[in-house]
Structure 1
Amino acid sequence: MSTATPNASSDVLDFVVHKANGLKGLVDTGLQSLPRHISNHQNEAASKWGFFQIINHGIPQEILDHLQDAAHGFFGLPNEERKKFWKGKSPTDTAFLATSFTPLKEKVLEWKDYLSFRYIPGDEKSQTLWPSVCKDPVLDYMKRVEMVIKKLLELLLTKLNIMSNDQYKSIEHRVVANGSKNRVSVPIFVNPGPDALIGPLPEVLETGAAPRYKPILFQITSVFL
Protein backbone atom coordinates (compact mmCIF):
# COMPACT_ATOMS: atom_id res chain seq x y z
CA MET A 1 0.00 0.00 0.00
CA SER A 2 1.15 3.54 -0.66
CA THR A 3 0.74 5.78 2.39
CA ALA A 4 -0.11 8.58 -0.03
CA THR A 5 -3.20 6.87 -1.41
CA PRO A 6 -4.79 4.23 0.87
CA ASN A 7 -7.59 2.63 -1.13
CA ALA A 8 -8.72 -0.75 0.21
CA SER A 9 -10.92 -0.62 3.32
CA SER A 10 -8.31 -2.52 5.34
CA ASP A 11 -5.65 -0.07 4.17
CA VAL A 12 -7.77 2.90 5.24
CA LEU A 13 -8.35 1.42 8.70
CA ASP A 14 -4.65 0.68 9.09
CA PHE A 15 -3.64 4.14 7.88
CA VAL A 16 -6.15 6.09 10.00
CA VAL A 17 -6.22 4.05 13.21
CA HIS A 18 -3.29 1.66 13.55
CA LYS A 19 -0.71 4.06 12.14
CA ALA A 20 -2.31 6.98 14.03
CA ASN A 21 -2.60 9.29 11.03
CA GLY A 22 -6.22 10.08 11.84
CA LEU A 23 -8.84 11.54 9.54
CA LYS A 24 -6.73 14.68 9.10
CA GLY A 25 -3.89 12.54 7.75
CA LEU A 26 -6.29 10.87 5.33
CA VAL A 27 -7.53 14.25 4.10
CA ASP A 28 -3.95 15.45 3.64
CA THR A 29 -3.22 12.59 1.22
CA GLY A 30 -5.63 14.15 -1.26
CA LEU A 31 -7.78 11.00 -1.38
CA GLN A 32 -10.89 11.79 -3.44
CA SER A 33 -13.08 8.82 -2.47
CA LEU A 34 -13.35 6.06 0.12
CA PRO A 35 -14.06 2.35 -0.35
CA ARG A 36 -17.80 1.65 -0.35
CA HIS A 37 -17.32 -0.42 2.81
CA ILE A 38 -16.25 2.73 4.65
CA SER A 39 -18.91 5.03 3.20
CA ASN A 40 -21.58 2.41 3.98
CA HIS A 41 -20.84 2.83 7.69
CA GLN A 42 -21.30 6.60 7.40
CA ASN A 43 -24.51 6.13 5.42
CA GLU A 44 -25.91 3.70 7.99
CA ALA A 45 -25.10 6.02 10.89
CA ALA A 46 -26.60 9.04 9.13
CA SER A 47 -29.77 7.26 7.97
CA LYS A 48 -30.52 5.10 11.04
CA TRP A 49 -29.16 7.19 13.89
CA GLY A 50 -28.71 10.73 12.58
CA PHE A 51 -25.38 11.05 14.39
CA PHE A 52 -21.79 9.97 14.10
CA GLN A 53 -18.62 11.11 15.83
CA ILE A 54 -15.53 12.37 14.05
CA ILE A 55 -12.22 11.76 15.81
CA ASN A 56 -8.68 12.70 14.79
CA HIS A 57 -10.07 15.75 13.00
CA GLY A 58 -6.87 17.74 13.33
CA ILE A 59 -8.26 20.59 15.45
CA PRO A 60 -5.96 20.98 18.49
CA GLN A 61 -7.56 20.52 21.90
CA GLU A 62 -6.30 23.93 22.97
CA ILE A 63 -8.38 25.52 20.20
CA LEU A 64 -11.49 23.78 21.53
CA ASP A 65 -10.63 24.77 25.10
CA HIS A 66 -10.13 28.41 24.08
CA LEU A 67 -13.51 28.36 22.34
CA GLN A 68 -15.31 27.17 25.46
CA ASP A 69 -13.42 29.71 27.56
CA ALA A 70 -14.52 32.41 25.10
CA ALA A 71 -18.16 31.36 25.48
CA HIS A 72 -17.93 31.49 29.26
CA GLY A 73 -16.11 34.81 28.94
CA PHE A 74 -18.90 36.41 26.93
CA PHE A 75 -21.73 35.17 29.13
CA GLY A 76 -19.71 36.22 32.17
CA LEU A 77 -19.70 39.84 31.02
CA PRO A 78 -21.90 42.37 32.84
CA ASN A 79 -25.44 42.46 31.51
CA GLU A 80 -24.99 45.92 30.00
CA GLU A 81 -22.03 44.68 27.93
CA ARG A 82 -23.90 41.63 26.65
CA LYS A 83 -26.94 43.71 25.73
CA LYS A 84 -24.87 45.63 23.18
CA PHE A 85 -25.09 42.54 20.97
CA TRP A 86 -28.79 41.79 21.50
CA LYS A 87 -30.51 40.71 18.30
CA GLY A 88 -31.71 43.79 16.42
CA LYS A 89 -29.29 46.07 18.29
CA SER A 90 -25.98 44.38 17.52
CA PRO A 91 -23.55 46.42 15.38
CA THR A 92 -23.49 43.53 12.89
CA ASP A 93 -26.01 40.93 11.77
CA THR A 94 -23.26 38.29 11.69
CA ALA A 95 -23.01 38.21 15.50
CA PHE A 96 -25.90 38.64 17.89
CA LEU A 97 -27.22 37.54 21.27
CA ALA A 98 -30.70 36.03 21.52
CA THR A 99 -32.77 33.78 23.75
CA SER A 100 -35.16 30.84 23.42
CA PHE A 101 -37.25 32.07 26.36
CA THR A 102 -40.80 31.38 25.12
CA PRO A 103 -42.82 30.15 28.12
CA LEU A 104 -46.14 30.51 26.28
CA LYS A 105 -45.03 28.12 23.53
CA GLU A 106 -42.92 25.49 25.27
CA LYS A 107 -44.45 22.59 27.15
CA VAL A 108 -41.02 21.50 28.36
CA LEU A 109 -38.78 24.30 29.56
CA GLU A 110 -35.53 24.24 27.61
CA TRP A 111 -34.70 27.90 27.76
CA LYS A 112 -31.28 29.14 26.80
CA ASP A 113 -29.46 32.26 25.75
CA TYR A 114 -27.22 31.93 22.72
CA LEU A 115 -24.61 33.96 20.89
CA SER A 116 -24.91 33.36 17.15
CA PHE A 117 -22.11 33.91 14.64
CA ARG A 118 -22.51 33.78 10.86
CA TYR A 119 -19.07 33.05 9.47
CA ILE A 120 -18.48 34.18 5.90
CA PRO A 121 -14.88 33.61 4.73
CA GLY A 122 -13.24 36.89 3.81
CA ASP A 123 -15.81 39.08 5.56
CA GLU A 124 -13.26 40.83 7.78
CA LYS A 125 -15.30 44.05 7.92
CA SER A 126 -18.18 42.60 9.91
CA GLN A 127 -15.88 40.32 11.92
CA THR A 128 -14.14 43.36 13.40
CA LEU A 129 -17.48 44.17 15.06
CA TRP A 130 -17.76 40.81 16.83
CA PRO A 131 -17.46 40.79 20.65
CA SER A 132 -13.78 41.32 21.43
CA VAL A 133 -13.85 38.88 24.34
CA CYS A 134 -14.46 35.93 22.00
CA LYS A 135 -13.75 37.11 18.44
CA ASP A 136 -10.28 35.61 18.00
CA PRO A 137 -11.05 32.15 19.48
CA VAL A 138 -14.23 31.90 17.37
CA LEU A 139 -12.44 32.88 14.15
CA ASP A 140 -9.56 30.51 14.85
CA TYR A 141 -12.00 27.66 15.36
CA MET A 142 -14.16 28.55 12.35
CA LYS A 143 -11.20 28.65 9.98
CA ARG A 144 -10.00 25.23 11.14
CA VAL A 145 -13.37 23.51 11.23
CA GLU A 146 -14.21 24.84 7.76
CA MET A 147 -11.73 22.38 6.20
CA VAL A 148 -13.21 19.46 8.14
CA ILE A 149 -16.75 20.42 7.12
CA LYS A 150 -15.89 20.68 3.43
CA LYS A 151 -14.23 17.28 3.38
CA LEU A 152 -17.09 15.70 5.31
CA LEU A 153 -19.65 17.03 2.84
CA GLU A 154 -17.54 15.77 -0.05
CA LEU A 155 -17.42 12.29 1.48
CA LEU A 156 -21.13 12.14 2.23
CA LEU A 157 -22.11 13.68 -1.12
CA THR A 158 -25.42 14.78 0.33
CA LYS A 159 -27.21 16.97 2.82
CA LEU A 160 -30.09 16.39 5.17
CA ASN A 161 -33.72 15.73 4.26
CA ILE A 162 -34.42 17.41 0.91
CA MET A 163 -31.17 16.62 -0.89
CA SER A 164 -31.05 13.05 0.42
CA ASN A 165 -34.75 12.57 -0.41
CA ASP A 166 -35.43 11.85 3.28
CA GLN A 167 -32.77 9.14 3.56
CA TYR A 168 -30.90 11.33 6.03
CA LYS A 169 -33.17 13.06 8.52
CA SER A 170 -32.39 15.62 11.16
CA ILE A 171 -32.96 13.68 14.36
CA GLU A 172 -34.61 15.38 17.32
CA HIS A 173 -32.30 15.13 20.29
CA ARG A 174 -32.03 16.39 23.84
CA VAL A 175 -29.17 17.00 26.22
CA VAL A 176 -29.73 16.67 29.95
CA ALA A 177 -28.60 19.86 31.65
CA ASN A 178 -26.79 19.94 34.96
CA GLY A 179 -28.94 21.75 37.50
CA SER A 180 -25.94 23.07 39.41
CA LYS A 181 -23.52 24.00 36.63
CA ASN A 182 -23.67 26.20 33.53
CA ARG A 183 -23.54 24.29 30.26
CA VAL A 184 -22.01 25.44 26.97
CA SER A 185 -22.65 23.94 23.53
CA VAL A 186 -20.98 25.01 20.29
CA PRO A 187 -23.09 23.71 17.37
CA ILE A 188 -22.33 24.57 13.75
CA PHE A 189 -24.95 24.71 10.99
CA VAL A 190 -23.64 24.49 7.43
CA ASN A 191 -25.87 26.07 4.78
CA PRO A 192 -25.60 26.78 1.05
CA GLY A 193 -26.02 30.32 -0.24
CA PRO A 194 -29.54 31.81 -0.10
CA ASP A 195 -29.84 31.67 -3.90
CA ALA A 196 -28.82 28.00 -4.12
CA LEU A 197 -31.39 25.67 -5.69
CA ILE A 198 -31.73 22.52 -3.59
CA GLY A 199 -33.58 19.29 -4.26
CA PRO A 200 -33.02 15.52 -4.21
CA LEU A 201 -29.60 14.69 -5.65
CA PRO A 202 -29.66 12.72 -8.94
CA GLU A 203 -27.41 10.07 -7.36
CA VAL A 204 -30.04 9.44 -4.67
CA LEU A 205 -32.72 8.83 -7.32
CA GLU A 206 -30.65 6.37 -9.37
CA THR A 207 -32.33 3.44 -7.58
CA GLY A 208 -35.66 4.51 -9.04
CA ALA A 209 -36.97 6.23 -5.91
CA ALA A 210 -39.52 8.95 -6.58
CA PRO A 211 -38.44 12.46 -5.56
CA ARG A 212 -40.23 13.63 -2.41
CA TYR A 213 -39.32 17.27 -2.90
CA LYS A 214 -39.38 19.74 -5.76
CA PRO A 215 -36.29 21.91 -6.33
CA ILE A 216 -36.56 25.04 -4.21
CA LEU A 217 -34.43 28.06 -3.32
CA PHE A 218 -32.65 27.53 -0.03
CA GLN A 219 -33.66 30.96 1.31
CA ILE A 220 -37.32 29.91 1.18
CA THR A 221 -36.64 26.98 3.50
CA SER A 222 -34.74 29.06 6.07
CA VAL A 223 -36.45 30.66 9.02
CA PHE A 224 -34.44 31.93 11.98
CA LEU A 225 -36.28 33.11 15.10
Structure 2
Amino acid sequence: MTQMAPTLTFNDETSLLNFVVKDGNGVKGLVDSGLTEVPSRYIQPPHNRINKEHAAESLENMTIDLSELDGPSHDQVAKVITHAAETLGFFQVVNHGVPLELLDSLKAAAHSFFAQPVEKKAVYLKEVSPSPMVYYGTSFVPEKEKALEWRDYVTMPYTNDDDAFKYWPTEFKDVALEYLKTSTEMVKKLQQTLIKSLGVKPDDSRLDELVGFRVVNVNYYPTCPSPELTVGAGRHSDMGMLTVLLQDDIGGLFVKKGESASLEDEEWIEIPPIHGALVINIGDSLQILSNGRYKSAEHRVRTTSTKSRVSIPLFIAPLPIAKIGPLPELVARDGVSLYRDVAFHEYMDNFFGKSLDGKRSLDCASI
Protein backbone atom coordinates (compact mmCIF):
# COMPACT_ATOMS: atom_id res chain seq x y z
CA MET A 1 0.00 0.00 0.00
CA THR A 2 1.44 3.38 -1.03
CA GLN A 3 1.79 5.82 1.84
CA MET A 4 0.59 9.33 1.08
CA ALA A 5 2.93 12.22 1.74
CA PRO A 6 1.98 14.19 4.84
CA THR A 7 -0.01 17.35 4.25
CA LEU A 8 2.18 20.36 4.93
CA THR A 9 0.99 23.25 7.06
CA PHE A 10 2.30 26.79 6.76
CA ASN A 11 1.30 28.66 9.87
CA ASP A 12 4.83 30.06 10.06
CA GLU A 13 5.23 32.80 7.42
CA THR A 14 8.97 32.23 7.13
CA SER A 15 8.57 28.55 6.34
CA LEU A 16 5.87 29.41 3.80
CA LEU A 17 8.06 31.91 1.96
CA ASN A 18 11.05 29.58 2.04
CA PHE A 19 8.99 26.75 0.56
CA VAL A 20 7.16 28.80 -2.05
CA VAL A 21 9.71 31.44 -3.04
CA LYS A 22 13.23 30.48 -2.02
CA ASP A 23 12.98 26.75 -2.75
CA GLY A 24 10.96 27.34 -5.91
CA ASN A 25 7.96 25.16 -5.09
CA GLY A 26 5.59 27.97 -5.98
CA VAL A 27 1.85 27.87 -5.51
CA LYS A 28 1.72 24.59 -7.42
CA GLY A 29 3.91 23.07 -4.71
CA LEU A 30 1.39 24.19 -2.09
CA VAL A 31 -1.45 22.57 -3.99
CA ASP A 32 0.51 19.37 -4.65
CA SER A 33 1.31 19.10 -0.93
CA GLY A 34 -2.37 18.43 -0.29
CA LEU A 35 -3.20 21.88 1.02
CA THR A 36 -6.92 22.21 1.78
CA GLU A 37 -6.99 25.76 3.17
CA VAL A 38 -5.56 28.98 1.80
CA PRO A 39 -2.59 30.14 3.93
CA SER A 40 -3.21 33.51 5.55
CA ARG A 41 -0.48 35.19 3.49
CA TYR A 42 -2.58 34.55 0.35
CA ILE A 43 -5.86 35.89 1.73
CA GLN A 44 -6.66 39.21 0.08
CA PRO A 45 -8.32 42.13 1.88
CA PRO A 46 -12.04 42.27 1.01
CA HIS A 47 -11.72 45.20 -1.40
CA ASN A 48 -9.23 43.23 -3.56
CA ARG A 49 -11.30 40.07 -3.88
CA ILE A 50 -13.23 39.14 -7.02
CA ASN A 51 -16.43 37.76 -5.56
CA LYS A 52 -18.80 37.89 -8.48
CA GLU A 53 -18.65 37.60 -12.23
CA HIS A 54 -20.01 40.42 -14.33
CA ALA A 55 -21.88 39.97 -17.59
CA ALA A 56 -19.84 40.83 -20.65
CA GLU A 57 -22.53 42.37 -22.86
CA SER A 58 -20.50 45.53 -23.30
CA LEU A 59 -17.81 43.48 -25.04
CA GLU A 60 -20.05 42.25 -27.84
CA ASN A 61 -18.48 44.72 -30.28
CA MET A 62 -14.96 44.26 -28.95
CA THR A 63 -14.09 41.12 -30.94
CA ILE A 64 -12.46 42.32 -34.13
CA ASP A 65 -11.77 40.46 -37.36
CA LEU A 66 -8.27 41.74 -38.03
CA SER A 67 -8.23 40.47 -41.62
CA GLU A 68 -10.71 43.23 -42.45
CA LEU A 69 -7.98 45.83 -41.94
CA ASP A 70 -6.70 44.73 -45.34
CA GLY A 71 -10.03 45.13 -47.09
CA PRO A 72 -12.75 47.67 -47.88
CA SER A 73 -13.85 47.74 -44.22
CA HIS A 74 -10.48 49.12 -43.10
CA ASP A 75 -11.73 52.51 -41.91
CA GLN A 76 -14.64 51.04 -39.96
CA VAL A 77 -12.42 48.44 -38.26
CA ALA A 78 -9.82 51.09 -37.46
CA LYS A 79 -12.53 53.14 -35.72
CA VAL A 80 -13.56 50.14 -33.61
CA ILE A 81 -9.93 49.51 -32.57
CA THR A 82 -9.45 53.18 -31.73
CA HIS A 83 -12.69 53.35 -29.73
CA ALA A 84 -11.64 50.30 -27.70
CA ALA A 85 -8.25 51.88 -27.00
CA GLU A 86 -9.93 55.12 -25.88
CA THR A 87 -12.43 53.47 -23.55
CA LEU A 88 -11.93 49.99 -22.09
CA GLY A 89 -8.33 49.57 -23.22
CA PHE A 90 -9.08 45.93 -24.12
CA PHE A 91 -10.34 44.13 -27.20
CA GLN A 92 -9.99 40.71 -28.82
CA VAL A 93 -8.85 39.85 -32.33
CA VAL A 94 -9.58 36.88 -34.57
CA ASN A 95 -8.14 36.07 -38.00
CA HIS A 96 -4.93 37.61 -36.69
CA GLY A 97 -2.45 35.52 -38.67
CA VAL A 98 -1.08 33.47 -35.77
CA PRO A 99 -1.76 29.76 -36.46
CA LEU A 100 -4.36 28.29 -34.11
CA GLU A 101 -2.35 25.05 -33.88
CA LEU A 102 0.58 27.08 -32.53
CA LEU A 103 -1.62 28.66 -29.87
CA ASP A 104 -2.83 25.24 -28.74
CA SER A 105 0.77 23.96 -28.67
CA LEU A 106 1.82 26.92 -26.56
CA LYS A 107 -0.86 26.23 -23.96
CA ALA A 108 0.14 22.56 -23.87
CA ALA A 109 3.80 23.56 -23.42
CA ALA A 110 2.82 25.76 -20.47
CA HIS A 111 1.10 22.88 -18.69
CA SER A 112 4.04 20.61 -19.50
CA PHE A 113 6.58 22.96 -17.92
CA PHE A 114 4.69 23.54 -14.70
CA ALA A 115 3.89 19.83 -14.32
CA GLN A 116 7.61 19.10 -13.90
CA PRO A 117 9.23 18.31 -10.54
CA VAL A 118 10.35 21.44 -8.69
CA GLU A 119 14.06 20.78 -9.29
CA LYS A 120 13.50 21.11 -13.04
CA LYS A 121 11.88 24.53 -12.60
CA ALA A 122 14.04 25.85 -9.76
CA VAL A 123 17.12 26.00 -12.02
CA TYR A 124 15.49 29.12 -13.49
CA LEU A 125 14.94 30.93 -10.20
CA LYS A 126 16.17 34.49 -10.62
CA GLU A 127 19.09 34.05 -8.20
CA VAL A 128 20.50 31.00 -10.03
CA SER A 129 19.13 31.21 -13.59
CA PRO A 130 21.84 30.66 -16.22
CA SER A 131 20.76 33.83 -18.00
CA PRO A 132 18.71 37.01 -17.48
CA MET A 133 16.88 35.82 -20.62
CA VAL A 134 14.74 33.51 -18.47
CA TYR A 135 13.60 33.35 -14.88
CA TYR A 136 10.96 31.47 -12.91
CA GLY A 137 9.06 32.85 -9.95
CA THR A 138 5.83 33.20 -8.07
CA SER A 139 3.49 36.11 -7.23
CA PHE A 140 4.74 39.60 -8.23
CA VAL A 141 7.24 40.88 -5.64
CA PRO A 142 6.66 38.49 -2.71
CA GLU A 143 9.00 40.34 -0.36
CA LYS A 144 6.90 43.52 -0.70
CA GLU A 145 3.36 42.19 -0.99
CA LYS A 146 1.04 42.06 2.00
CA ALA A 147 -1.05 39.40 0.27
CA LEU A 148 0.55 37.09 -2.29
CA GLU A 149 -0.86 36.24 -5.71
CA TRP A 150 -1.98 32.67 -6.45
CA ARG A 151 0.31 32.42 -9.49
CA ASP A 152 3.58 30.94 -10.73
CA TYR A 153 5.26 32.16 -13.91
CA VAL A 154 8.20 32.05 -16.29
CA THR A 155 9.46 35.29 -17.87
CA MET A 156 11.46 35.21 -21.10
CA PRO A 157 12.81 38.56 -22.38
CA TYR A 158 13.79 38.37 -26.05
CA THR A 159 17.08 39.69 -27.39
CA ASN A 160 17.84 37.43 -30.34
CA ASP A 161 17.14 33.93 -31.62
CA ASP A 162 20.46 32.51 -30.46
CA ASP A 163 19.88 33.54 -26.84
CA ALA A 164 16.33 32.23 -26.93
CA PHE A 165 17.39 28.83 -28.27
CA LYS A 166 20.27 28.63 -25.80
CA TYR A 167 18.54 29.72 -22.59
CA TRP A 168 14.76 29.44 -22.83
CA PRO A 169 13.30 26.21 -21.34
CA THR A 170 13.13 23.27 -23.73
CA GLU A 171 9.36 23.00 -23.28
CA PHE A 172 8.85 26.58 -24.49
CA LYS A 173 11.59 27.80 -26.74
CA ASP A 174 10.36 26.60 -30.13
CA VAL A 175 6.69 27.49 -29.70
CA ALA A 176 7.30 30.70 -27.72
CA LEU A 177 9.72 32.02 -30.31
CA GLU A 178 7.30 31.14 -33.10
CA TYR A 179 4.49 32.89 -31.18
CA LEU A 180 6.63 36.01 -30.88
CA LYS A 181 7.60 36.01 -34.55
CA THR A 182 4.23 35.17 -36.10
CA SER A 183 2.55 37.91 -34.06
CA THR A 184 4.93 40.60 -35.37
CA GLU A 185 2.83 41.51 -38.41
CA MET A 186 -0.34 41.71 -36.29
CA VAL A 187 1.36 43.98 -33.75
CA LYS A 188 2.64 46.19 -36.57
CA LYS A 189 -0.89 46.58 -37.99
CA LEU A 190 -2.32 47.51 -34.60
CA GLN A 191 0.48 49.95 -33.90
CA GLN A 192 0.09 51.65 -37.28
CA THR A 193 -3.68 51.89 -36.85
CA LEU A 194 -3.48 53.43 -33.39
CA ILE A 195 -0.71 55.89 -34.25
CA LYS A 196 -2.49 56.95 -37.45
CA SER A 197 -5.69 57.57 -35.47
CA LEU A 198 -3.77 60.06 -33.33
CA GLY A 199 -3.17 62.11 -36.46
CA VAL A 200 0.62 62.09 -36.11
CA LYS A 201 3.44 60.42 -38.01
CA PRO A 202 6.56 59.70 -35.95
CA ASP A 203 9.58 58.56 -37.94
CA ASP A 204 10.17 54.84 -38.30
CA SER A 205 13.22 54.78 -36.04
CA ARG A 206 11.19 56.30 -33.21
CA LEU A 207 8.40 53.76 -33.67
CA ASP A 208 10.90 50.88 -33.74
CA GLU A 209 12.36 52.17 -30.47
CA LEU A 210 8.91 52.25 -28.87
CA VAL A 211 8.20 48.57 -29.63
CA GLY A 212 11.76 47.23 -29.55
CA PHE A 213 11.55 45.31 -26.26
CA ARG A 214 9.54 42.08 -26.23
CA VAL A 215 8.92 39.65 -23.39
CA VAL A 216 7.03 36.35 -23.39
CA ASN A 217 5.48 35.53 -20.02
CA VAL A 218 3.88 32.20 -19.14
CA ASN A 219 1.47 32.34 -16.20
CA TYR A 220 0.18 29.31 -14.33
CA TYR A 221 -2.75 29.59 -11.92
CA PRO A 222 -3.18 26.34 -9.94
CA THR A 223 -6.55 25.30 -8.59
CA CYS A 224 -7.39 27.07 -5.34
CA PRO A 225 -9.43 25.63 -2.43
CA SER A 226 -11.05 29.02 -1.73
CA PRO A 227 -10.90 31.19 -4.86
CA GLU A 228 -13.13 33.84 -3.31
CA LEU A 229 -10.30 34.69 -0.86
CA THR A 230 -7.49 35.02 -3.38
CA VAL A 231 -6.44 36.63 -6.66
CA GLY A 232 -4.34 35.15 -9.44
CA ALA A 233 -2.99 38.58 -10.36
CA GLY A 234 -3.72 41.80 -8.51
CA ARG A 235 -5.19 44.92 -10.07
CA HIS A 236 -2.69 46.58 -12.39
CA SER A 237 -2.06 48.02 -15.82
CA ASP A 238 0.80 46.83 -18.02
CA MET A 239 3.79 49.12 -18.42
CA GLY A 240 4.48 48.66 -22.15
CA MET A 241 2.79 49.76 -25.36
CA LEU A 242 0.61 46.75 -26.14
CA THR A 243 0.07 43.32 -24.63
CA VAL A 244 -0.95 40.34 -26.76
CA LEU A 245 -2.53 37.72 -24.50
CA LEU A 246 -3.38 34.11 -25.17
CA GLN A 247 -5.81 32.83 -22.54
CA ASP A 248 -7.25 29.34 -22.26
CA ASP A 249 -10.93 28.43 -22.14
CA ILE A 250 -11.30 28.61 -18.34
CA GLY A 251 -11.71 32.37 -18.03
CA GLY A 252 -10.98 34.63 -15.11
CA LEU A 253 -9.49 37.75 -16.69
CA PHE A 254 -11.32 40.88 -15.51
CA VAL A 255 -10.95 44.46 -16.75
CA LYS A 256 -12.10 47.57 -14.95
CA LYS A 257 -14.78 49.53 -16.77
CA GLY A 258 -14.28 53.28 -16.59
CA GLU A 259 -13.46 55.34 -13.53
CA SER A 260 -15.35 55.12 -10.25
CA ALA A 261 -15.62 57.29 -7.18
CA SER A 262 -15.01 54.46 -4.72
CA LEU A 263 -13.93 50.84 -4.54
CA GLU A 264 -17.53 49.82 -3.84
CA ASP A 265 -18.74 51.40 -7.09
CA GLU A 266 -16.19 49.75 -9.38
CA GLU A 267 -17.44 47.62 -12.24
CA TRP A 268 -15.27 44.75 -13.46
CA ILE A 269 -16.06 42.87 -16.66
CA GLU A 270 -14.77 39.41 -17.51
CA ILE A 271 -13.07 39.06 -20.88
CA PRO A 272 -14.84 35.99 -22.29
CA PRO A 273 -12.52 33.27 -23.61
CA ILE A 274 -12.89 32.73 -27.36
CA HIS A 275 -10.99 29.83 -28.87
CA GLY A 276 -8.41 31.09 -31.32
CA ALA A 277 -8.77 34.73 -30.30
CA LEU A 278 -5.99 36.87 -28.87
CA VAL A 279 -6.68 39.55 -26.29
CA ILE A 280 -5.07 42.95 -26.86
CA ASN A 281 -4.69 45.54 -24.16
CA ILE A 282 -3.26 49.03 -24.06
CA GLY A 283 -0.27 49.63 -21.76
CA ASP A 284 0.92 52.64 -19.77
CA SER A 285 3.52 53.63 -22.38
CA LEU A 286 0.84 54.05 -25.05
CA GLN A 287 -1.36 56.06 -22.66
CA ILE A 288 1.62 58.35 -22.01
CA LEU A 289 2.55 58.55 -25.70
CA SER A 290 -1.03 59.50 -26.64
CA ASN A 291 -1.13 62.16 -23.90
CA GLY A 292 -3.94 60.31 -22.19
CA ARG A 293 -6.19 59.70 -25.20
CA TYR A 294 -5.64 55.94 -25.11
CA LYS A 295 -6.30 54.24 -21.78
CA SER A 296 -4.08 51.58 -20.31
CA ALA A 297 -6.40 48.90 -19.04
CA GLU A 298 -6.55 48.10 -15.34
CA HIS A 299 -7.11 44.38 -14.99
CA ARG A 300 -6.80 41.44 -12.60
CA VAL A 301 -7.21 37.66 -12.59
CA ARG A 302 -9.55 35.44 -10.60
CA THR A 303 -8.58 31.97 -9.37
CA THR A 304 -10.69 28.84 -9.69
CA SER A 305 -11.26 25.65 -7.73
CA THR A 306 -12.03 23.48 -10.74
CA LYS A 307 -9.02 23.45 -13.07
CA SER A 308 -5.57 25.00 -13.33
CA ARG A 309 -5.40 27.89 -15.79
CA VAL A 310 -2.64 29.16 -18.06
CA SER A 311 -2.23 32.45 -19.90
CA ILE A 312 0.62 33.61 -22.11
CA PRO A 313 1.08 37.37 -22.54
CA LEU A 314 3.51 38.84 -25.03
CA PHE A 315 4.55 42.28 -23.81
CA ILE A 316 5.46 44.83 -26.49
CA ALA A 317 7.37 47.67 -24.86
CA PRO A 318 9.90 50.45 -25.54
CA LEU A 319 13.60 49.71 -25.39
CA PRO A 320 14.90 50.29 -21.85
CA ILE A 321 16.99 53.27 -23.02
CA ALA A 322 14.06 54.87 -24.86
CA LYS A 323 12.41 58.01 -23.55
CA ILE A 324 8.64 57.80 -23.25
CA GLY A 325 6.55 60.94 -23.19
CA PRO A 326 3.59 62.51 -25.02
CA LEU A 327 4.14 63.01 -28.73
CA PRO A 328 5.03 66.71 -29.27
CA GLU A 329 2.32 67.15 -31.91
CA LEU A 330 -0.32 66.02 -29.41
CA VAL A 331 0.97 68.35 -26.70
CA ALA A 332 0.80 71.25 -29.17
CA ARG A 333 -2.73 70.27 -30.18
CA ASP A 334 -3.97 69.64 -26.63
CA GLY A 335 -2.27 72.69 -25.17
CA VAL A 336 -1.02 70.70 -22.18
CA SER A 337 1.26 67.76 -21.45
CA LEU A 338 -0.19 65.28 -18.97
CA TYR A 339 3.07 63.39 -18.55
CA ARG A 340 6.76 64.14 -18.37
CA ASP A 341 9.41 62.36 -20.40
CA VAL A 342 10.94 59.42 -18.55
CA ALA A 343 13.46 56.75 -19.54
CA PHE A 344 11.64 53.44 -19.86
CA HIS A 345 14.17 51.65 -17.66
CA GLU A 346 13.28 54.11 -14.88
CA TYR A 347 9.61 53.33 -15.42
CA MET A 348 10.36 49.59 -15.18
CA ASP A 349 12.34 50.07 -11.97
CA ASN A 350 9.40 51.93 -10.44
CA PHE A 351 6.90 49.34 -11.69
CA PHE A 352 8.77 46.36 -10.22
CA GLY A 353 9.86 48.20 -7.09
CA LYS A 354 6.56 47.76 -5.26
CA SER A 355 3.45 45.63 -5.14
CA LEU A 356 0.72 46.03 -7.74
CA ASP A 357 -1.74 48.84 -7.01
CA GLY A 358 -4.01 49.63 -9.93
CA LYS A 359 -2.58 52.32 -12.20
CA ARG A 360 -0.32 53.92 -9.58
CA SER A 361 2.63 53.09 -11.82
CA LEU A 362 1.59 56.07 -13.97
CA ASP A 363 2.25 58.43 -11.09
CA CYS A 364 6.01 58.43 -11.72
CA ALA A 365 5.41 59.99 -15.16
CA SER A 366 2.49 62.26 -14.29
CA ILE A 367 2.92 66.02 -14.11
State the shift of 1:26 in Å.
Answer: 4.4
- Quick one: distance in 2 between partners of 1:56 and 1:126? 27
State the shift of 1:25 in Å.
Answer: 7.1
1:105 is the counterpart of 2:145 = yes
Note the residue ranges of structure 2 that are not aligned, 5 or more in a row. 1-63, 199-240, 242-285, 354-367
What residue number does 2:174 align with?
Answer: 136
- Quick one: distance in 2 between partners of 1:172 and 1:23? 24
State the shift of 1:72 in Å.
Answer: 0.5
State the shift of 1:147 in Å.
Answer: 2.1
- Quick one: distance in 2 between partners of 1:68 and 1:149? 20
What residue number does 1:23 align with?
Answer: 66
* TM-score (norm. length: structure 2): 0.49
Percent identity of equivalent pairs: 38
- For the residue of structure 1 that corresponds to 2:158, the secondary structure is coil
What residue number does 2:346 align with?
Answer: 220
Q: Deviations over 1:97-127 (max 9, x none)?
A: 01117387345x532111111123x341353
- For the residue of structure 2 that corresponds to 1:52, the secondary structure is strand
What residue number does 2:157 align with?
Answer: 118
- Quick one: distance in 2 between partners of 1:42 and 1:203? 21
More strand by share: 2
Is the CA contact (8 Å cut-off) linking 1:92 and 1:126 kept in structure 2?
no
Q: Deviations over 1:136-171 (max 9, x none)?
A: 111111111122112211211174221111222222
Q: Deviations over 1:167-216 (max 9, x none)?
A: 22222222332212111011121111111122101343353341111222
Is the CA contact (8 Å cut-off) linking 1:24 and 1:56 kept in structure 2?
yes
- For the residue of structure 2 that corresponds to 1:188, the secondary structure is strand
Q: What is the total number of aligned residue pairs between the two structures?
A: 198
Note the residue ranges of structure 1 that are not aligned, 5 or more in a row. 1-16
- For the residue of structure 2 that corresponds to 1:162, the secondary structure is helix
What residue number does 1:14 align with?
Answer: none
Root mean square deviation, CA, Å? 2.5
Mapping of residues 51-62 of structure 1, within 5 Å? 51-62=90-101
- Quick one: distance in 1 between partners of 2:329 and 2:103? 36
- Quick one: distance in 1 between partners of 2:184 and 2:131? 21
Is the CA contact (8 Å cut-off) linking 1:73 and 1:134 kept in structure 2?
no
Q: 1:169 to 1:131 in 2, by over 3 A?
A: same
1:149 is the counterpart of 2:149 = no
The structure 2 residue matched to 1:208, chosen from 302, 311, 334, is 334
